[in-house]
Each structure stands twice: as structure tokens, then as C-alpha cells.
Chain A
């Protein structure tokens, strides 16, 4: 097998705690991506997302000489040639999309991280949230449920706040009961949501500050689709975040790029 062959297609599969993402690259260009819910079975999610992607790109598995898996479920993708962490994959993905990028903020379902890249696109340093769910997609999911808002609508709601409230608890469970008492106190949903975004942004900003993030900064991960969260983070960090179309699939894209170098 000659991986370096021209015209070869490489795949990356990112199994996150909430969604499974897959990407294909060919001749150093993005060919296709696909996203599904991970569900309770990460092994099955890996197979399903890859099959759907192949179908979308109208190719078969034998056209793909190398696959790299990543994400918390990276070890469950048995057909991958190598498993690498989200850190290096998000770093590589961001650099692939825009080689100017020096800082990355990735907020995923189970963890959030800040990554520092050097001019060669190598990871210089990174910081991850600790064991707690504060400042992750899971935190936003719990809050969306409490407020009976669809997760993908959370962002727009948050942008329409007139008087953002403050959530003081860091712990997701305590923050949820704080939110519930705000609902009971008849506070406007928009204002509560803005408070939730700021609370999560504050946690993520700590990670960025810890590694002294450098501009330009790209935001990746599913939460990058949440405009309210992006705005809250920009405010906290005092800089503009670059959000590209495939922010959620960025880890899978990076994995595909790394597969091409195996």
C-alpha cells in the first residue's frame, strides 16, 4: 500500500461523547464530512458514520488507504490504522484550514480545551478542563433541557438578552438548580441563557489564559455553532474568534490529514 499515491483519499473519524464526525480529504482538499449522534454505542457509531460518509462521497472502503480515529471513543474504531488524541487532530485540522492559526479553542461535548500551535502547525501546549462538566457542551445541553429550548437554538436566544443574568455556581448540577429557580422567578429566558453562556465562557477562558493563547484564534467543536457562546467567549477573551463552516468536524478533518501522513 502506498499512502502517498496521488489521488488517494484519507479518512478521519472523531467519536465524541455526543456526536460522531467523519471527514475525507483528497489531494490535500476536503472532500466530504458527515456527522451523526454517537448514542450509547461508540463502536457502532464509528462504523455508521464512516459508512454514511463513504456513501455520500460515492466511494468504497478500499479507496481509503489510511484512517485515523480520534475523540474520546478513538479506541473503539477498530478499523482505524491509528488512534490519536483530539488535541493533535484539532491542531492539525485548524492548521489545514488556515495555516495562520496559532490558537484554538475547542469546546466539545465532554471536554473543552485550548491549544497553542507553532508556525509549523505543531502543538506547543494545551490545557483541558478538569473532570468537571462546567464549560462543556454537556453543560449547555443540561441547561437547554431545563429551559426547554432546543440545543441549536440556545445561541440565538442568548444573543437577544436585554439584561443578562449571572449564574454563580460552577458545578453543572448546582447551576441547573440555579437556573430552575430563575425560571421559577419568572426571569426572561433570553437573559438566563446569556448568563449560562457567560458562565461557560468564563470556564473556557481560564484554559485559554492558562496557555497564554496567541492570535489568530479559531474556535472548533460543536459548540462553535452556538453564536451566543462565541460572542460570550469573544467578550471574555477580548479577541475575535474565527469560526469556519466545518468547525464541528475539525477534529475529523485533522485526523484525515494525519492519516495522509502515516
Chain B
């Protein structure tokens, strides 16, 4: 979305990030020639053991976001529906399943997996989705089961998930025919921890008024913390990005010219409408300063012990945003409203993502009761544009902004 921005507002690190992502996908595409293995992994899955084993992790969900952003989601969703999948199925799952067959999307399909790693800390959909892909590609599947922590992380859950970490490592040893290198794992763990801290710091810079970047930028810069977590590349990049943000704050460069209102976004982005939404909000002098989505990749950092990553990983991966109770989610939203000094909350009720959208009505009520800031809900889907109704959404956003203006002026 930064294409039409005046030069000074453009975030310089964006180019570097594109280059890194291109190299990453090239490596993944050419893995076979280079005798490297590829594992597909869910976005919330523990990737560090893969990195330690020199396996290239590939994220169908990141690919789904690319498909959405390149506006190729509709055809692939329809193709999946032609195959018999329900239009109610998550559009990441639909596009990934159909893309495997037609080799569509911006990359012409993902590199074929040697194994699949599925962690259900984000949703239950991924279980069936990965089972389907395991059958289709005829590759081994490892399932990491993380019970939902409605209120707390009990000793039973702790033992249960920790045991599975050992099973996970055993699975990797079997399928790579290599011994697991625990020292390397400790190094990778440290890098993952450092990158998450840096990512959190980058996100925190938007508490500054005016904000040096918006959630739309965060949606873009997120890709590295997802795909290259545990590598030096991610650490270096986020350090550079953080510097750039601090620089922007010092020189007073904001993402939205004349930022007057600050908003918080909840749920996944609407990938095929980033530009439209970003222009819509900035047209009202509003900046989406933060979101609950991109912070999910550093939200559980408090449970991570950088010096004992492997043991603490079980807890950190179990207690992520989508795997906790609605009250705890609401608490996080309230904290963010306070930290970023938000004037309003925009909730995307995402037809695809049930675990994300399920508790939103309650969160909305809690936010209204405790903060009195306006909240809107817009109904859409992150990848399938058939669920986006422009004039309805436009009216909602305009009315929401009129309410905020009435209250603030």
C-alpha cells in the first residue's frame, strides 16, 4: 500500500524485506536440488526445532495471505468448492488445498513437503486440512495438540505438551535420519526469542503520536517473524526496522498525514483490500496503530525462557492469543487500547476464522463497558472477496468515524 505514498513516508526497510522473502521462497523452491527437506507448518506451530534440523519451514497460511493480497483468492476458493469443500471452510485451507492441485497463486504453488507439522493452538481446522494434505502428498504428519487454556496453564497441560515436544523431536530424527542437535536448538531458541522481542519493540513504536507506521505496515512486516523466526536474518532485519521506526519518530514522520484518531484492529487483515481500507481510514485522518493479529507472534514471549527455550516452548506455544479464554483475550484488547491510546476498535468478523471471530461479540461488549470507546464490526473474509460488500462496509466505517469525530471534537 505504500506505492503511492510520498517518498518520505515510505518505509525504507520494505525493499530489504521483499528481497529476504524472495530469497526465502527461492530456497524453498529449490530445496530438492540442494538436498534439503521442506516441512509445511501451521502459523502457530513451533518452528525452532525445524530450523535447528536445517529443514526449510514453509507456511501455507503465509502463502494464503499472498494469494489473498494478489487477489487470486476467489478462483482458488471456487476451485476448492468445485472439489466438494464447503464455502464455510477457512479460505486459507480452501486455497491451499486447491492450489496443490492446480499449482496456482503468485508462486505457482508451494514446494512439495517432505513432512507436515500441524499445531492446533490456532484452530481445529488445521487438523483436517493437514490430514488431507498428508494423504495427498503421502508424507508423514506430526500433530502437536495444545489444549485451550481458558483460565490457566495447569500442570497436566504442561506435562502433556512438554512430552509432545520430545515426540516432535523424535519424529524429526526419524524423518531426517539425523540426530537432533540440542546445542544448535539452544542457539536457534535464543535467536527466536530475540527476534520476538525486537518485533514487539517495533510494534510498540506506534504508541508514539503520530504513529511512525500503521497496522497495514505491520501486516506486511509480519512475514519474517512468522517464516524466519529462529534465524539471524530475522534478528538483523527487525533490528534495522526498529532503528528506522525510531528515526521516523525523531524526525516526526508519520504514516498517516495529519493523524488525528488512533484505532485498534482485531482479527486477520482483509488481504485483498489492504489498500482500500488503508486509504479509507487515512481519509478520515485515522491511523490503525495496532492490531491483535501481528502481536500474536510475540504475545506469549513472557512465558519463554531464552536460556531454556526447549522447555519453556511448550507453555509459550500453548498460551497464544487464539488458545486462551475470551476473558483473557478481552484483557489483552483492553491493555492494547490503553497502551496505544486508541479512540476506537475495529473488529473484522472474519467468515473464515472461527476461533478468532467467535468471542468478538463478548469482547465488544466488554470493551464498551470498560472503556466507552466506539467499536464497529465489519463482516468480511481474509482471502475470499465474495464475502466483502464494499458499500455496506464503507457506510459502517464512515458512520463509525463520524461518531468518533463527534466525541472528540
A→B interface (CB under 8 Å)? 72, 84-88, 111, 122-126, 128, 130-131
Contact = CB atoms under 8 A, between A and B. Distances in A.
A231 B403 CA distance: 31
Nearest to A121: B406
Contacts of A124: 403
A130 B379 contact: yes
A122 B402 CA distance: 10
A130 B387 CA distance: 11
Given A72-B391, A131-B389, A123 B396 contact: no
A111 B379 CA distance: 15
Contact of B407 (A72, A84, A85, A122): A122
B399 interface: yes
6 contacts: A72-B395, A87-B395, A88-B406, A122-B406, A125-B374, A130-B379
B379 A123 contact: no
A139 to B, nearest CB: 15
A128 B398 contact: no
A128 B395 contact: yes
A128 B402 contact: no
A87 B391 contact: no
B73 to A, nearest CB: 18
B161 to A, nearest CB: 38
Given A125-B374, A131-B392, A88 B402 contact: yes
B402 A84 contact: yes
Interface string B380-409: 000000010101100110110011001100
B398 A130 contact: no
Interface size class of B (residues with CB under 8 A): 10 to 19
Contacts of B374: 125
Given A72-B391, A123-B403, A124-B403, 12 more contacts: A84-B398, A84-B402, A85-B395, A85-B399, A86-B395, A122-B403, A123-B399, A125-B368, A126-B403, A130-B392, A131-B379, A131-B389
Nearest to B401: A85
A2 B407 CA distance: 25
B406 A128 contact: no
Given A122-B407, A125-B374, A130-B379, A88 B399 contact: yes
Interface in B290-317: none
Contact of B399 (A72, A122, A126, A130): A126
A124 B406 CA distance: 10
A86 B402 CA distance: 11
A202 B403 CA distance: 27
A38 B226 CA distance: 50
Contacts of A86: 395, 399
Contact of B392 (A84, A88, A111, A122): A111
Contacts of A72: 391, 395
Contacts, number: 41
Contacts of A111: 392, 395
A92 to B, nearest CB: 10
B396 A128 contact: yes
B392 A128 contact: yes
Contacts of B399: 85-88, 123, 126
A123 B392 contact: no
A125 B407 CA distance: 12
A84 B391 CA distance: 13
A123 B406 contact: yes
B276 to A, nearest CB: 14
A230 B395 CA distance: 25
A111 B392 CA distance: 8
A123 B402 contact: yes
Contacts of A131: 379, 387, 389, 392
Nearest to A128: B396
A66 B374 CA distance: 29
Interface in B69-91: none
B223 to A, nearest CB: 30
A130 B389 CA distance: 9
A84 B392 CA distance: 14
Contacts of B406: 88, 122-123
A73 to B, nearest CB: 9
A84 B396 CA distance: 11
Contacts of A126: 399, 403
Closest 4 CB pairs of A and B: A87-B399, A85-B399, A131-B389, A85-B398
B158 to A, nearest CB: 40
Nearest to B397: A85
A161 to B, nearest CB: 32
A140 B49 CA distance: 60
A131 B391 CA distance: 10
Among the interface residues A85, A87, A111, A124, which one has the most CB atoms of the partner chain B within 10 A? A85
Given A122-B407, A125-B374, A85 B389 contact: no
Contacts of B396: 128
A250 B371 CA distance: 32
A88 B391 CA distance: 16
A18 B318 CA distance: 52
